[in-house]
Amino acid sequence: MLIFRQLFDPQSSTYTYLVADSRSREAILIDPVFDQARRDDALLRELDLKLVATLETHVHADHVTGAWLLKRSHGSQIALSGDSGASGADRYLAHGDRVAFGERCLEVRSTPGHTRGCVSYVLDDESMAFTGDCLLIRGSGRTDFQEGDARTMYRSVKSQILSLPPSCLLYPAHDYRGLTVTSVAEERRFNPRLGGDIGEKDFVGYMENLGLPHPKLMDIAVPANLQCGRPAQDTELPAEPSWAPLTFTFAGIWELSPAVLEEHAANVQIVDVREQDEYRGPLGHIKGSSLIPLHELPARAGELAKDRPVVTVCRSGARSAQAVVLLQKAGFKDVANLQGGMLRWRGEGNPVEGSRD
């Protein structure tokens, strides 16, 4: 079975796609975003997947790829078109190549026009295709920079994308209105630039008059992507918290295990966000913790020191995850949630105070 997730980067309106084979657990990420690598790490871990490769649809002008960062943490292969002009990839793709993940594969189709090295990826059974910035939903990528060419794009769309089966779902690299997916049949009929009887000349005329400003990050993104997202200096990497070995969840929360908290207890402030009666109830509480019920936390956050890490605790780890969010909003930088709360803390045999049993 295919595992499929559509992920979104709100900064650049970029879609990243995770496709994986449920039997072998091998996964591919299409168009990962540098700033979202931590999110992607978390999802791969939580779904128990092994990232075998990252694929680019092209050298992006609006965000830096996460390919290099993900290779560093997962050992994944970096792959993109040989026509991209990029260096630092493990595999340079050409039209007709196949990229395998477990028993499934993606077929590479050359679809230049937005850039010279644009490719689309078609799933082995032609049920879905990833069109990058060639065909967008009811639109198309722009053709006014990076060796873009409207005529070439028209031919790419007609011969490689709209020629797929009508039911084939199309997933673009961006959507600026929040649309998520379309199909070949829909775009053949309703694409205002390329659908119906619209000819090549009509399309070129349309594209010559888009009048779009260049992407804000273009001068940073293009050189970085020509190196597959490898930063010029290590200082450009997103900072990892150094005060304890933490895990980042797909839900966006830093967490630590009971064992790690035990080890670092002396250096952190432990805040229990349950209610008074729970704190003094049968589950007990962790020695040295202070009680600030969740609903009082916004008003009482000032009781905590900002220069020492804070660990939040509750019964199961749910309310305390929300406490992490509230404390981060209040300006606390080093905050983490105790995984599984008091239930797991006790389940793993750690000592408690004030317990009635």
The site that binds ligand GSH (CB under 6 A) totals a number of residues, namely 13
> Please, what is the minimum distance in Å from the beta carbon of residue 65 to Fe ion?
11
Question: Which string of x and - marks every residue 33-62 that binds Fe ion (by CB under 5 A)?
Answer: ---------------------------x--
Within 10 Å of residue 193's Cβ, how many Cβ atoms?
20
Interacting span for ligand GSH (CB under 6 A) from 55-63, 250-258, 320-328, 344-352: 55-63
E strands within 24-75? Answer: 26-30, 50-55
**Is 133 a binder of Fe ion (CB under 5 A)?**
yes
Per-residue burial over 80-112, b if 16 or more Cβ lie within 10 Å, else e, is: bbbbbbbeebeebbeeebebebbebbbbbbbbb
For residue 214, the 8-state DSSP code is: P
Residues 231-290 that bind ligand GSH (CB under 6 A): none
> Please, what is the minimum distance in Å from the beta carbon of residue 226 to ligand GSH?
15
Beta bridge partners of 189: none
Of the candidates 66, 113, 139, 229, which one interacts with ligand GSH according to CB under 6 A? 139
**Is 116 a binder of ligand GSH (CB under 6 A)?**
no
E strands within 22-125? Answer: 26-30, 50-55, 77-81, 91-93, 98-101, 104-110, 119-123
> Please, what is the minimum distance in Å from the beta carbon of residue 143 to ligand GSH?
8
Question: Which string of x and - marks every residue 3-32 that binds ligand GSH (by CB under 6 A)?
Answer: ---------x--------------------
Q: Does residue 230 contact residue 68 with C-beta atoms inside 8 Å?
A: yes
Site of interaction with Fe ion (CB under 5 A): 60, 133
Site of interaction with ligand GSH (CB under 6 A): 12, 60-62, 133, 139, 141-142, 174, 176, 212, 215-216
